[in-house]
Amino acid sequence: MNLDGIGVTSRRTRERLIAKLKDKGIRNAGVLDVMRSTPRHIFVDPAFSHLSYEDIPVNIGYKQTVSQPYVVARMTEAVLEAGPLNRVLEVGTGCGYQTAVIAPLAQEVYSIERIKPLHDKALVNLEQLGLTNVHLLHGDGSLGYAEKSPFDAIVVTAAPLGVPNELLAQLAHNGRLVIPVGGPAGQELRLITRHQEQFVSRLLDHVRFVPLLKGQVTN
């Protein structure tokens, strides 16, 4: 696998995406650098290579998508606002793109995916990138991962109808949860910050994610 990319996945194509992210308001230099160096083309089916560096979600099978780069950047930037991240939980690994973007910006990343073939795909993708601080789990992440809590950041990449209390409870003091909330017609991307037992919620954007579903799928 060519990690640098050629033609439609080349450095120049990636640079255009970074320019677009800046235009849309992404300012965090660390986030922009990681997005520049992350080969999004390895996360999409070769038939869709030409869409890898477009600012759009791309299908990955199983009725799921690899997230839109702008949304990945926005979510990552939001949880990094308060400073460096030690322990991060992601719910909804998909094929691992958001995981790959946040991993270089945190000490440890735990990521849970309910669909086994996608979890397997993410394992292969992230191994190729040599990321050693990522721990992928197959299972239902809607209740978080209490054993490894508290988390400095929880990034949810599938949408529940309401914010699960279990996720709030697993935030560290000053911890941040970024989560799309709402139904299939569209959701509010919310940033929720914990101050002791108080939770402050801020609207970041309007987005459209796949739903957060219960249970796990084995094939």
The Cβ of residue 178 has, within 10 Å, a number of other Cβ atoms equal to: 22
Nearer to ligand SAH, 192 or 210 (CB): 210
Distance of CA 219 to the CA centre of its chain: 22
Of these, 51, 118, 167, 178, which contacts ligand SAH (CB under 6 A)? 118
> What is the closest distance, in whole angstroms, from the C-beta atom of residue 44 to ligand SAH in the complex?
10
Residues 145-184 that bind ligand SAH (CB under 6 A): 157-158
> What is the closest distance, in whole angstroms, from the C-beta atom of residue 173 to ligand SAH in the complex?
25
Nearer to ligand SAH, 67 or 149 (CB): 67
x-or-dash pattern for ligand SAH, window 74-103, by CB under 6 A?
A: -----------------xxxx--xx-----
Report strand pairing: 171-181 vs 187-195: antiparallel
> What is the closest distance, in whole angstroms, from the C-beta atom of residue 143 to ligand SAH in the complex?
8
Of these, 103, 136, 177, 210, which contacts ligand SAH (CB under 6 A)? 210
Q: Are 26 and 77 in contact (CB under 8 A)?
A: yes
| Partners of residue 211 on adjacent β-strands | 159
Q: Are 166 and 177 in contact (CB under 8 A)?
A: no
Q: Are 5 and 40 in contact (CB under 8 A)?
A: no
Q: Does 66 bind ligand SAH (CB under 6 A)?
A: yes
Q: Does 122 bind ligand SAH (CB under 6 A)?
A: no
Q: Are 89 and 151 in contact (CB under 8 A)?
A: yes
Nearer to ligand SAH, 36 or 195 (CB): 36
> What is the closest distance, in whole angstroms, from the C-beta atom of residue 7 to ligand SAH in the complex?
23
Nearest-5° Cα angle at 83, 80 to 85: 70
Of these, 34, 113, 170, 171, which contacts ligand SAH (CB under 6 A)? 113
Per-position DSSP letters for 24-75, written without gaps between them = TT---HHHHHHHHHS-GGGGS-GGGGGGTTSSS-EEEETTEEEPPHHHHHHH
Q: Which residues are catalytic?
A: 67
Interacting residues toward ligand SAH by CB under 6 A:
64-67, 72, 91-94, 97-98, 112-115, 118, 140-142, 157-158, 210, 212-213
